[in-house]
């Protein structure tokens, strides 16, 4: 049975003009976080910074947990989509879902807007293989990882010292220093002047001359050739009657 006839009947029965006059709800003022003066990077500092990073047309995908709770407290620009699932609370959902969201966004909007993923390191570890699929598909997804080496929700439920609540992400060799922010000023540098935090490339190795001699060469001749190869400015001593030599 289709629900379309029921919906059509309900729409027809509704009056064309609203029969009530409700005012716009007034939201309470933003609360002042207790850790506002913390020197280390904390949750109350991250999400207001993210608010200034968002653009109109972005699609934001949020993982279950602190990412969703934090993003719900900030103001989004106009024409911004927000995707989250809190009903089932399936951690790891967001990383894989972001790939499908990015494909759909490109089909609907082309190059307009961006796809952003906000997830934790514990949730991302469950479906991190989809990041490889994103790279292979050429997706330019912006990924924010709240990396605290474990599961924040499990620490709150079972205790901060429980071993099962700690699950660090696998490490990898990056071409330059990874974007790890530990303080709020450090996060600002990452966002606005990342070139300052990127170390200079290592110097190129000094080339060396290598002399390969065939086996038929005499040992003394090989020694002489080797000395000439590595010390080209030195000449062989003369064989004059005085027995001396001049370099």
Note the pLDDT of residue 196.
55
Note the pLDDT of residue 175.
44
Longest dimension (CA), the chain: 125
Decide if pLDDT at 16 tops 90: no
128 burial type by CB count under 10 A (0-12 exposed, 13-18 middle, 19+ buried): middle
Task: Tell me which range, 27-31, 34-38, 116-120, is most confidently predicted by mean pLDDT.
Answer: 116-120
Residue 242 has what DSSP assignment? T
189 versus 236: which is more confidently predicted?
A: 189
**91-134 tens-digit pLDDT:** 889 999 999 999 999 888 877 889 999 998 888 888 988 999 99
Q: Quickly state the pLDDT bin for 48 (edges 50, 70, 90).
A: confident
Note the pLDDT of residue 176.
44
Say which range, 31-45, 46-60, 220-234, has the weakest mean pLDDT.
220-234
As beta bridge partners, residue 62 has: 118
Query: Phi, psi at residue 70, to the nearest 5°?
Result: -70, -40
DSSP 51-84: HTT--TT-EEEE-TTHHHHHHTTSPPPTT-EEE-
Tell me the CA distances in angstroms from 3 to 6, 9, 14, 16, one per residue in order. Answer: 5, 10, 17, 22
Q: Quickly state the pLDDT bin for 38 (edges 50, 70, 90).
A: confident
Note the pLDDT of residue 211.
57
Q: Quickly state the pLDDT bin for 76 (edges 50, 70, 90).
A: very high
Q: Among residues 102, 67, 62, which one has the least CA distance to residue 84?
A: 62
Note the pLDDT of residue 207.
60
Decide if pLDDT at 69 tops 70: yes
Decide if pLDDT at 147 tops 50: yes
Name the pTM for this structure: 0.59
**213-228 tens-digit pLDDT:** 566 545 555 455 545 5
90 burial type by CB count under 10 A (0-12 exposed, 13-18 middle, 19+ buried): middle
Note the pLDDT of residue 31.
80
Decide if pLDDT at 54 tops 90: yes
Class of the CATH-defined domain 33-197 = alpha beta
Query: Phi, psi at residue 64, to the nearest 5°?
Result: -60, 135
Mean pLDDT estimate for the chain: 76
**158-167 tens-digit pLDDT:** 777 777 667 6
């Amino acid at each position: 049975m289709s629900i379309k006839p029921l919906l059509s009947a309900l729409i027809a029965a509704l009056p064309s003009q609203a029969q009530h006059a409700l005012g716009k709800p007034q939201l309470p003022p933003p609360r002042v976080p207790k850790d506002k003066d913390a020197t280390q990077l904390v949750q109350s500092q991250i999400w207001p910074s993210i608010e200034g990073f968002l653009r109109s047309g972005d699609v934001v995908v949020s993982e279950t947990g602190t990412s969703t709770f934090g993003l719900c407290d900030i103001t989004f620009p106009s024409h911004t989509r927000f995707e989250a699932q809190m009903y089932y609370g399936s951690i790891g959902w967001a990383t894989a879902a972001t790939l499908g969201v990015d494909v759909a966004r490109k089909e609907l909007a082309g190059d307009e807007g961006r796809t952003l993923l906000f997830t934790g390191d514990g949730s991302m570890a469950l479906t991190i293989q989809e990041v490889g699929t994103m790279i292979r598909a050429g997706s330019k997804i912006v990924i924010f990882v709240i990396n605290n080496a474990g599961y924040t929700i499990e620490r709150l439920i079972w205790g901060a010292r429980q071993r099962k609540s700690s699950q660090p992400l696998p490490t990898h060799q990056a071409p330059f220093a990874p974007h790890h922010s530990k303080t709020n000023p450090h996060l600002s540098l990452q966002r606005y002047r990342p070139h300052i935090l990127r170390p200079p490339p290592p110097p190129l190795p000094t080339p060396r001359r290598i002399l390969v001699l065939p086996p038929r060469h005499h040992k003394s001749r090989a020694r002489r050739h080797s000395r000439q190869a590595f010390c080209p400015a030195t000449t062989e001593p003369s064989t004059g009657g005085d027995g001396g030599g001049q370099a």
